[in-house]
Structure 1
Amino acid sequence: MDIDLKDRIALVTGASRGIGYFTALELAKRGAHVIACARTVGGLEELDDAIRAVGGTATLVPFDLADMAAIDKLGGSIFERWGKLDILVANAGVLGTISPIGHVEAKVFEKVMTINVNATWRLIRSVEPLLLKSDAGRALILSSAAAHKCKPFWGPYSASKAAVEALARTWAGETQRTALRILSIDPGPTRTAMRAQAVPGEDPSTVPHPSEVAEALMPLLGPDMTETGKLFIVREKKIVDYNMPS
């Protein structure tokens, strides 16, 4: 499906690598101006080069999502320059450690919650007024099967992803009478650095490349998407409603 995003403004977190990087690139290919956020300046610069190579444009915003004051300022900065935001992709996240719950260090648990949950809520609060100014605001919150499987030893990460799904559903209910559509997505197993950390020894060629996942996400971000409050899953390069049978 050809999704036209010409002249739309899109904010992507965790844009320096993995799903965030390739989602930002796909958005740019379709005409969106991408506001790319990440801690890694080098990765953002590589993304900027890739976006320019396909004829797109980007604004790089290097900062750590643990910096809540920076998130608060981000909305104001976007308003001053563009006056609105059309697309939010809340992608950034950390895994923490794979460990029994009772053995997880407090600082590790707190970091997972800070980056995956607190920063997502802070981001929502910062950019919601901008998304409501769009004629077709779209927000996509990255989740994981871990939120539902709750596998042993995955406690912090599973809890954090369950929390952001709850935030997304609540937010969707609060804005359902507006033009803003809010969805969650489980990208499925993807060839990322986080996946390599979580499943050491796995042959990366056996799971989809993040560019394939990014391309599949595009229909969820276009003006024609009418659903809100739902969870979707990427399966075989396609988007599937979580509640549909396999």
Structure 2
Amino acid sequence: MKKTAVIYILLILLTAKPMVNGMERDEMIDLATFTQEQGVAIDHWQVTLKETLDIEKINQIVEDMKNSRLVTMTEDENVIKYLLRDVHKEAAIDVTYSVVIAKADPYQAEMIAVIEGSQWSSQIEDEYLSIKRLIKKEFFTESLKIFACLKTGIGGIMKADDFVERITNYFNLEHIVTQNDTIANSSHEKVIYGYTDLWKQNFIIQGTQMNLQLAVVTDDDKNLTYTIGTPILINEY
């Protein structure tokens, strides 16, 4: 059973971003490096870039998208949505671009780019960074929000408490909050929130900074699935 993360108070803050070897840290690379060092298989990873842009820039993006035969357009009573998918087969990376124009406010629209894959290696890491830089340069400004998410494969090779302890120590997590829940199909879910000063964005829960969320789900066969997100999980897990 998957569940969408619900946050009652969510505020993204921008601060000075730490550097690694003279370069900005990348949250996805940090998550993938940690997971691989623990000997846990990566099942899926995803980086989402989002920003609300003025309609002039959006119109140009939409016109460029329309030049592709792969673009699709859908419309309902509330929004018009353009979707374009770009597959990088050699690097096993998918990129999806979408523009969402709300009919209630036609002067602004949301631009979303999603980079994702089901494998991770040094080659994929390099290609991911290249794709991300190009997307940021072409579509976004410094005001964009970036969400990284990584999901592990199902397995029982490490106890949940051990994994939580390792991620806590690895990222030097502070302000740790744990939420336990039992889902209708009897699987057990634990969600841990924490804060690390390694990354740029964070959100506020009851006056406390947070920027890492870990969901631990145990199915009926006692298999564990870990889903890690920063600054928060915006997808189901």
Give the structure-2-normalised TM-score: 0.27
Quick check: which has more Rg, 1 or 2? 2
Whose strand proportion is higher, 1 or 2? 2
Q: Which has the higher helix share?
A: 1
- RCO (CA 8 Å, sep 6+): is it higher in 1 or 2? 2
Query: What is the TM-score of this pair, normalised by structure 1?
Result: 0.27
